[in-house]
Amino acid sequence: MGLIVARNREELAKASGGGRLALVPTMGALHEGHRSLMRDACARANRVAVSIFVNPLQFAPNEDFSRYPRTFDDDLQVCEEEGVSVVFAPAAEDMYRHDRQVSVNSGEMGRIVEGAFRPGHFDGVLTVVLKLFHLVQPDLAVFGQKDAQQLAMIRRMVADLDLPIEIVGSPTVREPDGLALSSRNRYLSEDDRRVALTLSRALRVGAGEFTPAKIRETARAVLDEAGGALDVDYLVLADPATFLEVSETYEGPAVLAVAARVGGTRLIDNVILTLSPA
């Protein structure tokens, strides 16, 4: 059977089938990073569903919802090449009632770090993800580690709401020069791209240190080298499960995460490292 494209809930219901089902939620503009999520999903399930939906709830009024890249025909080709069974591509009016009142509250973790700079963002993310889980009914869902706080929030929602879904975090895919793949990379000019590489370099250099203070200090120094060409929102070294900053005595996995604007484009990146006693 070839790729099935479902444009609404009714068509999605007709596309049901047997076996273990994996979901890869996306906003389209698919690239090699999305392909890696699909491959991970295919390795874990009999069937893979990909959602393509630019979710208006997770964009603030001053963000790039209207210009977010939409490349649906190309996206379908990617899904077909990667062995996806179903693409769910609803319109906004099929996802949200015009008089919608109830949504997911992302709690305190949704208001720190990325959430502090994008108020309401994680409420929108969790609301659409919960709806997709309900509509698609997957056994597991695959998300990219590049959106590390999003991944932590989704895991917390699944735990708090007792959802019977396995959440898989798939490693960040990078371009040969180290830039984390993102649908927004296409907005970067040649000069912007050179500046953007500062993010991955700062993370790489910082992760080579051994204490939280030194990791932060070293990574920040690399970011500062870019001067006014890089507008940094945050650099944090946090617990990957809570996104609270780690102390000097912390031991275990940690995420070194950064968000910054290059030209008119906002980029995020992170690396996972393990802190151990000196």
Q: Tell me: pLDDT of 16 over 90.
A: no
Instruction: Evaluate whether residue 107 is within a structural domain.
Output: yes
Tokens of 251: 């031991």
Contact predicate 180/203, CB 8 Å: no
Output the pLDDT for position 137.
97
Mark whether 157 and 193 lie in a shared domain. Answer: no
- Pairing between strand 47-52 and 86-88? parallel
In this predicted model, what pLDDT tens digit does every residue of 82-137 receive, in sequence order?
A: 999 999 999 999 999 999 999 999 999 999 999 999 999 999 999 999 999 999 99
Determine the pLDDT at residue 18: 87
Instruction: Tell me the sheet residues that pair with 261.
Output: 231, 266
* Residues 146 and 120 reside in one and the same domain: yes
147 shares a domain with 22? yes
Instruction: Tokens for 183, please give them.
Output: 């649908």
Taking alpha carbons only, the member of 96, 89, 82, 73 closest to residue 8 is 89
- 122 shares its domain with 220: no
Decide if 49 contacts 73 (C-beta within 8 A).
no
Q: Please write the tens of the pLDDT for every residue from 214-239.
A: 999 999 999 999 999 999 999 999 99
Domain contains 76: yes
**Do 222 and 100 belong together in one domain?**
no
Looking at the fold, whether 188 and 166 belong to one and the same domain comes out as no
Boundary (domain end) residue, out of 135, 170, 205? 170
Last residue of a domain, one of 130, 149, 170: 170
**Is residue 1 over pLDDT 80?**
no
Q: How many domains does the chain have?
A: 2
Three-state secondary structure call for residue 199? helix
Name the DSSP letter for residue 229: G
**Model pLDDT, residue 2:** 86
Confidence of residue 64 (pLDDT cuts 50, 70, 90): confident
Compute the residue count for the chain.
278
Helix axes 72-81 and 32-44, enclosed angle (nearest 10): 40
> What is the C-alpha separation between 41 and 143, in angstroms, rounded?
10
Mean pLDDT of 255-273: 97
pLDDT of residue 128: 98
> For residue 17, what pLDDT is reported?
85
Asked if 263 and 163 sit in the same domain, the reply is no
SS (H, E, C) 132-177: HHHHHCCCEEEEECCCHHHHHHHHHHHHHCCCCCEEEEECCCECCC
Q: Which residue numbers are catalytic?
A: 34
- Residue 68's pLDDT is what? 93
Evaluate whether residue 278 is within a structural domain.
no
What CATH number did the domain enclosing 259 receive?
3.30.1300.10
Residues 19 and 151 in one domain: yes
HSE (side-chain half, CA atoms, 13 Å) at 61: 0
Residues 239 and 102 in one domain: no
Structural domain range at position 107: 4-170
Domain identity same for 75 and 191? no
Q: Residue 105's pLDDT is what?
A: 98
Lowest-confidence region among 39-48, 62-71, 171-180, 202-211: 62-71
